[in-house]
Amino acid sequence: MVDTTSTPILLRAARGETVDRPPVWMMRQAGRYMKAYRDLRDRYPSFRDRSEIPEVAVEVSLQPWRAFRPDGVILFSDIVTPMPGMGIEMDIAEGKGPIIHDPIRTQAQIDALHPLEPEASLPFIRTILETLRQEVGNESTVLGFVGAPWTLAAYAVEGKGSKDYSIIKGMAFSDPSLLHQLLSQFAEAIATYVRYQIDCGAQVVQMFDSWAGQLSPQDYHMFALPYQQQVFNAVRQTHPDTPLILLVTGSAGLLKQMASSGADLISVDWTVDMADARAVLGPNIGVQGNMDPGVLFGSQDFIRDRIHDTIRKAGTHQHIMNLGHGILPNTPEENAAFFFKTVQDYRY
Ligand code: CP3
């Protein structure tokens, strides 16, 4: 018989099993708000070193684990990490985010991309995930993550983060077939990468379509949703038991479409009330979120009230407590600790 008591609570909740409280982790829980991270960043100033040298990446992932015992421990990496393996050179600049040296804007550049071979180009991911599984055992769930095709294409085409996404939108609205080719290539590579992360030990995988909320609902339907579906459907065929989470920022007007992405859980941000999100998404899909990261700058009484309010609105079925997006860099560490403890002390 399977010993379900040894399955960590986040994995059980993500599968829709009965739990006595919501599991909790925080997006960006490893990062700049932690002094331990800032100290380590001084010793390893290059983000690619921090995320691609296995011992360093493992250490960063374990910093919040040691400090707060979250129910989920996420791989320390970035959404653009697989790009060099497809032939897209990139770097991650301090305070700026990803930089693509030679932005993808022509048919010839798309033709020159190659399929991702993770064992060859991302061997460090195996070491990191295997080590994290050993380190946390059954006490926590190891999460993998990837970027979604639209968001990766946004970086590849724009060359960096953007306020208005005018270059990729220009391509979408004047030469859509070119963009569709790029999006399909990313969808294929990302499906391969998700499978690899699961094979290496990731127990739940979250896909970040961070910039898909920049699209109108009709354009999301055309350029984001089909490629999310392509990734999730491909992964489901070979790895049907791994829960998959989808995050889009600024997604309040997109929730209904997100429910048809094939994800098991939708990560909801704070622009929508959790009770309303539940009502739109329906009973067959789980939720994650959705406290405003800014609440962690409030008093602890206020933080506790907002946590309890979110949990009550999410209900007792398939809810992973989280922020609506990443924890902000200046957040007091003691308030992060209070967030985890308050959720872990809660009982339905
Ligand atoms: O959640 C975690 O603890 C895992 C770490 C993680 C990082 N990037 C590390 C990182 C995750 C999940 C990501 C995903 C990621 N990267 C996303 C999707 C998540 C989201 O926020 O919507 C996006 C859009 C990126 C691209 C990216 N990389 C951005 C926008 C930045 C931040 C720029 C800045 O400095 O504000 C990065 C760099 C980055 N990736 C940092 C971290 C901790 C900050 C730089 C640093 O600490 O050195």
What pLDDT digit, counting tens, does each position of 24-50 carry? 999 999 999 999 999 999 999 999 999
Task: Give the model's pLDDT for residue 2.
Answer: 44
Q: Which helix (H) or strand (E) segment is 93 a member of?
A: strand 90-93
Mutate to test the pocket of ligand 1, among 24, 27, 28, 76 (most ligand atoms within 8 A of CB): 28
CA of 164 to the centre of ligand 1 (A): 19
Tokens standing for residue 339: 């967030």
Q: Is the pLDDT of residue 261 over 70?
A: yes
Residue in 32, 48, 126, 236 annotated catalytic: 32
pLDDT tens, residue by residue, 266-294: 999 999 999 999 999 999 999 999 999 99
Q: Is 196 a catalytic residue?
A: no
Which residues, in sequence order, are CB contacts of 144 under 8 Å at separation 6+?
Answer: 74, 75, 129, 194, 197, 198, 200, 202, 204, 205, 206
Nearest to 157 by CA among 79, 85, 101, 103: 103
Residue in 12, 37, 50, 78 annotated catalytic: 78
Q: Is 21 a catalytic residue?
A: no
Q: Is 292 a catalytic residue?
A: no
Nearest to 292 by CA among 14, 23, 26: 26
Considering only CA atoms, which residue is closest to atom 23 of ligand 1?
Answer: 79
Q: What is the mean pLDDT of residues 73-100?
A: 97
Domain spans, the chain: 4-345
Q: Which CATH number fits domain 4-345: 3.20.20.210, 3.10.129.10, 3.40.50.300, 3.20.20.140?
A: 3.20.20.210
pLDDT tens, residue by residue, 151-165: 999 999 999 999 999
Residues having CB within 6 Å of any atom of ligand 1: 27-32, 41, 47, 74, 76, 78-79, 92, 95-98, 145, 161, 208, 210, 249, 326
Judge contact between 149 and 208, C-beta under 8 A.
no
Q: DSSP alpha helices (H): ranges in 112-224?
A: 118-121, 123-136, 149-158, 166-174, 176-200, 217-223
Q: Which helix (H) or strand (E) segment is 238 a member of?
A: helix 225-238
Confidence category of residue 244, pLDDT binned at 50, 70, 90: very high
CA of 45 to the centre of ligand 1 (A): 15
Confidence category of residue 5, pLDDT binned at 50, 70, 90: low
Tokens standing for residue 232: 């999730």
Q: How many CA atoms lie within 13 A of 170 on its CB side?
A: 8
Q: What is the mean pLDDT of residues 207-230?
A: 98
Q: Is the pLDDT of residue 1 over 90?
A: no
Considering only CA atoms, which residue is closest to atom 32 of ligand 1?
Answer: 97
CA of 4 to the centre of ligand 1 (A): 34
Task: Give the model's pLDDT for residue 95.
Answer: 86
Task: Give the model's pLDDT for residue 224.
Answer: 98
Judge contact between 231 and 149, C-beta under 8 A.
yes
**CA of 145, closest atom in ligand 1:** 12
Q: Are strands 72-74 and 97-100 parallel, antiparallel or unpaired?
A: unpaired
